Amino acid sequence: MIDSAQGEAMQAALKTGQRLVSKEGDLWRWDGYSVQAGTASAAGARLVERSRLEALKVHKTEALETETSAETALTDASTRTETSGQRTKALRQQAKDNHGELDRAREAIAAAEHEAQANSKQLGALAEA
């Protein structure tokens, strides 16, 4: 193993099939090919992208599950809203009918009181006569 600084100088003296490697991981081959330590290789880049793809597939699955759950919740909420609206409409109609019935009862009471007063007056007049 050699130092990184010596690699380039020694590369020209390599015979066919020989290579040099530094302690840091730099590589020099006899044919002029060299790789600096820490440089991403194509295979490494593919591994990173494959890992990213797998993570995205998991995220997609989770997102689809969340979407399905949200759609179900929306459907349930819409159904409850419609049911509540129908119940509110029915209760308003019932309240309107009850108010109408109350008004008719008040009118009947007022008519009965008016008739009772008229009868009382008539009875008083008859009693005096």
* Residues of the chain scoring pLDDT < 50: none
Give residue 97's pLDDT: 96
Give residue 65's pLDDT: 97
Give residue 40's pLDDT: 67
Give residue 74's pLDDT: 98
87-103: pLDDT as tens digits: 999 999 999 999 999 99
Go through the chain and tell me how many residues it has.
129
Give residue 12's pLDDT: 83
- CA–CA dist 41, 14 (Å, integer): 23
Asked whether 52 and 45 are in contact (CB, 8 A), the reply is no
Checking DSSP bridges between strand 34-35 and strand 27-29, what pairing results, if any? antiparallel
What SS3 state is found at 19? strand
